[in-house]
Amino acid sequence: MIHMAKPQMGDEEKKAVLEVLDSGIIAQGPRVKAFEDGFAELCGVKHAIAASSGTTALHLAMLAHGIGEGDEVITSAFTFIASSNSVLFTGAKPVFVDIDPRTFNMDAAKIEAAITKRTKAILPVHLYGLACDMDPIISLADKHGLAIIEDACQSHGAEYRGRKVGSFGTGTFSLYPTKNMTSAEGGMITTNDPVIDEKCRVLRQHGMRVRYYHDELGYNFRMTDVHAAIGLAQLKKLGKFNAQRQANARFLGDNLKGVRTPHVPEGQTHVFHQYTVRVPGGKRDSLRAYLNENGVGSEVYYPVPIHKQSFYVSDLGYKDNLPETERATEEVLSLPVHPALTPSDLETIVGAVNDFMEKSG
Ligand SMILES: Cc1ncc(COP(=O)(O)O)c(C=O)c1O
């Protein structure tokens, strides 16, 4: 079976973990600091704060911006549920806008109509490895005095007009094993704002500025040095991993037939966390079954949009109508694109998709 993901763990990661275990400092320590510094450099920002996951990074970012009960945050419903749950954790309300059908990212032209007196932030989700259209989002945030909190959990190293994601406001990243780089579990927050930086660090550690004196309600959202050691080794390989994903995507784009391949807008660098095609004519699920029978893994990210998840409907009363989001959930299929694919894997993927699309007319 050609799987959807394969974490790339080499001797560097193994050696780094053993060094931490031998060092006696296993919880948050010098490797976390080194990983934060390296990650800030990657994104071209002044500060990076490590967290225990992408979800806790998002949660910390919301809290650091003072988002809470009575506030609204504008985002996409076509994403992993952690994006909008992080808003719910604070007592605030996620407000969804529809996506641009070409990029699967939130449609910037729909944001202004969703802004109310209660809106505190825009949460663009850079889905599949492609940045949202940030220029209009920045203009709207400036015009209405809103924060930008980026969900860059799927987009390590992606660029929009020469700037890295995570540098447009407060950035959040996941380091889960399927991501473009991993620390096994982990997350990162990026910012140029020293106030946000300090707030995230304090909230990550039980609201503690001075040892055992607690100024506010905080959490244990720390990363360990064991995880940071893996993350540091992976950070050095991210450029190579992303280049391989891009080369794989190029091959798929040049050879797939009968499906709509990803659109990369001018001035953007897509890092292909996922290679997601649109399958027209209601054939998505039968293509998926055919691929499975022929040894090719695939996945639907995401089959149910967030506003239609059962507890959003029954407990929270969401009734949105988001036609492009809903259409995407029925048509998208992600194919393997990870850096461990061999040329023969790529031929097999293309062969199986093209076979099915040709036979099914
Ligand atoms: C878009 C998006 N946001 C948030 C998350 C949450 O990250 P984590 O799984 O590290 O908590 C993920 C990861 O799956 C994600 O893909």
**What's the confidence (pLDDT) of residue 208?**
97
| % the chain with pLDDT above 70 | 100
Q: How many Å apart are CA 107 and CA 98, to the nearest integer?
A: 6
What is the β-pairing status of strands 119-122 and 147-151? parallel
Tell which one of 174, 178, 306 to mutate to probe ligand 1, the residue whose CB is within 8 A of the most ligand atoms.
Answer: 174
Q: Which residues of 83-97 are buried (b: 16+ CB within 10 A; e: fewer)?
A: bbbbbbbbebbbbbb
Token pair of 113 as six digits: 């109509």
User: pTM surpassing 0.75?
Assistant: yes
Neighbouring C-beta atoms of residue 66, cutoff 10 Å: 12
Token pair of 226 as six digits: 């064991």
Alpha helices in the chain (DSSP H): 11-23, 30-43, 54-64, 82-89, 134-144, 194-204, 225-255, 284-293, 310-314, 323-331, 343-359
Residues with CB under 6 A from ligand 1: 53-55, 79-80, 82-83, 125, 151, 153-154, 174, 176, 187
pLDDT digits (tens, 9 = 90+) for 49-64: 999 999 999 999 999 9
Residue 152 Cα to chain centre, angstroms: 4
Tell which one of 154, 178, 188, 272 to mutate to probe ligand 1, the residue whose CB is within 8 A of the most ligand atoms.
Answer: 154
Tell which one of 73, 80, 128 to mutate to probe ligand 1, the residue whose CB is within 8 A of the most ligand atoms.
Answer: 80
DSSP letter for 87, please: H
Q: How many Å apart are CA 312 and CA 246, to the nearest integer?
A: 36
pLDDT in 10s for each residue of the chain, 361 residues: 999 999 999 999 999 999 999 999 999 999 999 999 999 999 999 999 999 999 999 999 999 999 999 999 999 999 999 999 999 999 999 999 999 999 999 999 999 999 999 999 999 999 999 999 999 999 999 999 999 999 999 999 999 999 999 999 999 999 999 999 999 999 999 999 999 999 999 999 999 999 999 999 999 999 999 999 999 999 999 999 999 999 999 999 999 999 999 999 999 999 999 999 999 899 999 999 999 999 999 999 999 999 999 999 999 999 999 999 999 999 999 999 999 999 999 999 999 999 999 999 8
DSSP letter for 97, please: E
CB 338 within 8 A of CB 271: no
Atom of ligand 1 nearest to the CA of 176: 10
Q: How far is the CA of 243 from the centre of ligand 1 (A)?
A: 22
pLDDT digits (tens, 9 = 90+) for 67-112: 999 999 999 999 999 999 999 999 999 999 999 999 999 999 999 9
Q: How far is the CA of 240 from the centre of ligand 1 (A)?
A: 22
Q: How far is the CA of 153 from the centre of ligand 1 (A)?
A: 5
CA dist list (Å): 98 to 94, 103, 130, 320, 322: 13, 12, 17, 10, 5
Q: Which long-range contacts (CB under 8 A, 24 or more apart) does 204-213 make?
A: 204/49, 204/51, 204/56, 204/60
Q: How far is the CA of 350 from the centre of ligand 1 (A)?
A: 28
